[in-house]
Structure 1
Amino acid sequence: MNISHEKVDAINAVIKVDLAPEDYNPQVDKEIKDQAKKAKLPGFRPGLVPAAHIRRTYGKSILLDTVNKIVNDKITAYIGENKLEVLGQPLPIEETATYNWDYKDNFQFKYEIGLAPEFVNPFTKEAEFTEYDIKADDETLESRIKNLRRSYGKMTNPEVSEEGDVLYATLKQDKEDGIEKTTSVRTDIIEDAKIKKSLVGLKQDDTVKIDIKKAFNAEDISRILGITPEEVEALDVTKFELTVKNINRLEESDLNQEFFNKLFAEGEVTEEAEFRTKVKEEVENLFKQNSDQRLRNDMYTFGMEKVDVAFPEEFLKRWLKATNPSISEEELNEGFADFLNNLKWTIIENRVVTENGLEVKYDEVINLAKERIYAQIKMYNINEEPSDEQLSQYAIQMLQDREQGNRLFEEAKALKVFEFLKEQIKINKEEIEYSAFEKLA
């Protein structure tokens, strides 16, 4: 057997595999004997089917499968041994040669491959980035406290409406035989300031006319009136009479011990100042994720700009068509630029991993899964504290799903590369308030 590759250019190559009868016949003979022992055919006792009969009946099929397996295995091994960084998978080159498939053929197979381009890692000490230490400004802090108080507040039915109330009301279209619907109307989502103001100070049975298309977007109108988007579009009269049936208000929870105990361990927080400090810490811990994401985005943009390389685009398009037979030419062209961008960053990450001997360990993937599960649990129940054993069990179950397991592995790899690259570059620290951080380009 002989296997070799020849470069067409820097990013395209051809792998050639030559097989002689002595390369494949031993495996063919073994496969025929194995099938003879397992075969259950009419006229023969189980396990006693002559190998010659299997060869006559199924020989060519076995030969074809065996040759394909040998070629695929050898190409995979060759790529690994020669450290070829291939893109996609090898694609067979159609040849005009014909074979007898009589166990005496000398086969030759050719495959085209796409090669990852060469480039210099741009992430060095000369590359400067800013890492933001984001602080909670007063507006952000008050907004978070307000949301927490509303989350643990209680529903009341005041006599007079205020901004932000939910009105249980009848909406009647201002025309004969028009739409009439009794429903809940959230005043906080009203887009027109004048209409929003007209719904403040109302009492039960008070009536006011509103232009529903000025007050709400199409999706909200569809939900409020119980009609389809097409019917919303076709409304010929948009003035509705709104009659208040009841006023609902979510009152904010008092800043008392009962409220503190719902958010934190019992007795951990006993006064408002401690509560505000805790909330500020929580918010700023969340902001660390924003800061990391910003730095990652900046590093991604930098890498994509600095690594200016060509890809074997024609090969990659043929490979995408081969692996996605149903894809249209239009779909392929529309998504190809994004595909190349993702491919470029993947190559950058993989090059960092291989050149620096980075390794993603199973424990790291498990710990990442546990973090994701913990965050999800806390999102729905802030007081629940799952044990480490429970989190481990959930994580193992999650990783048993191949798709989720692959996603978490790729995420763990990306985090490892990010942390490694942070050590290679120059990072300038900058303190900034959240309101200002949001305005950064």
Structure 2
Amino acid sequence: FEFDLGLAPEFAVDVTKKAIIQYKVVADMKMIDNQVKSIRKQYGKLISKDTVTKNDEITGTFVSDERELSNKTTFAIEVIKGKKQLSAIIGAMVGDTVVLKTKGLFKDDHDNEKYLGVSHEDAHGLDIEVSIKIKEVNTREMAELDQDLFDKLFGEGVITSEEQLKERIKADAEKQFEQQSDQKLLNDVVESLIENTKFDLPSDFLRRWIQISGEKEMTEEEAKEEFDRSEKGLRYQLIEGKLRAENNLQVTFEELKDHSKNMIKTQMAQFGQMNPTEEEVEAIVARIMGNEEEVKRLSEQLNTNKMLIFFKENAKLKTKEITYEKFMKEAYA
């Protein structure tokens, strides 16, 4: 018999070797004020008009024979960027058809996809002529920031002032931002560990294994290309496995059950079931634990959470406070 062995390498992992930026993303006053404005618009009154002015909303159908395009939509005048296009639309009346160039039409090219109905790929730099037949013109009278609005948003008496409303908006927004900054932190720590944890993989063995382990045997060149694509993933599997073993980061069955219970209670609360019985929750947990795919998904969630907590507590981190707008530009440039 002949055996082909690939031995796991010996190495040490140092999560403090290189400082990683931990972003604290904050909601600034501009964002909060825009959110207040959006809420007031959403809960305000629509007033029908005949003629378009700069603060209105238009409902109509964009048409282009060149692209065989016909898309009914509603948009606010404030999303229009082009001066010539604005000039053509403002003053138009219900029933009119207005011809527009799409180049520079909207402030954001992605709005070509949203309002014209073109593909995401075509939306960037779209340069065609379209027409829109105006079906409705409405202006939105913004809702007053009063107790009636606060109660509609959050329940009776929960919020009692504009100041409290802004504080709640800020807290809710920053809670959502934390999920994104956590994911960024996790990605950056993983990349740093792969780059700074030096060890040799049994490359020849792994290429041979890749070559013969699939349903269809690969050529040497195909196996080499597949190894090159997966090398980072293989390295991190070994690094993560070592960290889990040395720091007792495995997920237990009881942790999985508790995580499932908390998830179920949260979901039931969202649908108004605030106080489910223990029997109801246990019955749903039992069904989840009997579903192999669901158990795998929840285990992966818990494993990721454990690694994130470990990195937050042990890695060398440098906190940077930043607005969401700047975070998106800096973190994903």
How would you bin the TM-score normalised by the shorter chain? 0.7 to 0.9
Alpha carbons of structure 1 residues 274 and 238: separation in structure 2 relative to 1, 3 Å: closer
Alignment of 1:312-323 (within 5 A): 312-323=202-213
1:136/1:284 contact within 8 Å kept: yes
1:114 aligns with 2:3: no
Is 2:272 the partner of 1:343?
no
2:34 to 129, 140, 143: 143
The alpha carbon displacement at 1:270 in A equals 1.8
| Correspondence for 1:256 | 146
* Paired residues for 1:337-376 under 5 Å: 337-369=228-260
RMSD: 4.3
Whether the 8 Å CA contact 1:168–1:184 is kept in 2: the answer is yes
Q: CA deviation at 1:373?
A: 6.3
Equivalent-residue separation in structure 2 for 1:333 and 1:160 (angstroms) = 66
Q: Retained in 1: the 8 A contact 2:46–2:141?
A: yes
Question: Aligned residue for 1:60?
Answer: none
Equivalent AA in structure 2 for residue 141 of structure 1: I
Seen in structure 2, the aligned counterparts of structure 1 residues 224 and 421 have a Cα distance that, compared at 3 Å, is closer
- 1:318-360 superposed Cα distances (whole Å, 9 cap, x missing partner): 4345443258668766554342212221211110111223331
Relative contact order (alpha carbons < 8 A, sep ≥ 6): 1 or 2 greater?
A: 2
Question: Alignment length, in residue pairs?
Answer: 321
Aligned counterpart, 1:195: 85
Question: Is 1:299 paired with 2:189?
Answer: yes
> Alignment partner of 1:261: what SS?
helix
Amino acid at match of 2:100: I
Aligned to 1:128: 19
Percent identity between matched residues is 26
Aligned partner of 1:275 among 165, 168, 188 = 165
**TM-score normalised by L of structure 1:** 0.58
Q: CA deviation at 1:278?
A: 1.2
Please give the secondary structure, in 2, of the residue aligned with 1:209: strand
1:160 corresponds to = 51
Structure with bigger gyration radius: 1
User: Partners of 1:417 and 1:265 in 2: how far apart?
Assistant: 37
1:183 aligns with 2:72: yes
**Preserved CA contact (<8 Å) 1:172 1:179:** yes
SS of alignment partner, residue 354 of structure 1: helix
The answer for unaligned runs of 5 or more in structure 2 is: none
The answer to whether the Cα contact below 8 Å between 1:170 and 1:245 also exists between their aligned partners in 2 is: no
Three-state SS of the structure 2 residue aligned to 1:282 is helix
Q: Distance in 1 between matches of 2:119 and 2:133?
A: 23
SS of residue matched to 2:137: strand
Shift of 1:194: 3.4
Change (3 A) 1:266 1:321: farther
**Higher deviation after alignment, 249-258 or 211-220:** 211-220
Q: Distance in 2 between matches of 1:173 and 1:130?
A: 51
1:418 and 2:308 are equivalent in the alignment: yes
Does the Cα contact within 8 Å between 2:62 and 2:130 map onto a contact in 1? Answer: no
User: Is contact 2:60-2:132 (8 Å) kept?
Assistant: no
Q: CA deviation at 1:115?
A: 2.9
* TM alignment of 1:386-397, pairs within 5 A: 386-387=274-275, 397=287
Counterpart of 2:214? 324
Deviations 1:358-381 (A, max 9, x none): 331234334545666677789xx6
> Could you say which residue in structure 2 is the equivalent of 1:310?
200
| Residue 303 (structure 1) shift | 0.5
**Could you tell me which amino acid in structure 1 is paired with residue 11 of structure 2?**
F
| Corresponding position of 1:39 | none
SS at match of 2:234: helix
| Aligned-partner Cα distance in 1 for 2:183–2:234 | 20
Query: Distance in 1 between the 2:255 and 2:93 partners?
Result: 59
TM-score (norm 2): 0.74
Q: Which runs of 5+ in 1 are unaligned?
A: 1-108
Aligned to 1:66: none
User: In the superposition, relative to structure 1, how do residues 202 and 305 fare at CA in structure 2: closer, same or farther (>3 Å)?
Assistant: same
Q: Which moved more, 1:340-349 or 1:390-399?
A: 390-399
- Greater shift after overlay, 397-406 or 179-188? 179-188
Q: Counterpart of 2:75 in structure 1: which amino acid?
A: R
Residue 142 of structure 2 corresponds to residue 246 of structure 1:
no
Letter in 2 for 1:257: Q
**What is the CA-CA distance between 1:121 and the residue it aligns to?**
0.9
| Cα pair 2:15 2:316 within 8 Å, conserved | no
- Out of 284-293 and 321-330, give the one that drifted further: 321-330
CA distance in 2, matches of 1:218, 1:282: 26
Residues 163 and 196 in structure 1, CA contact (< 8 A), matched pair in contact too:
no
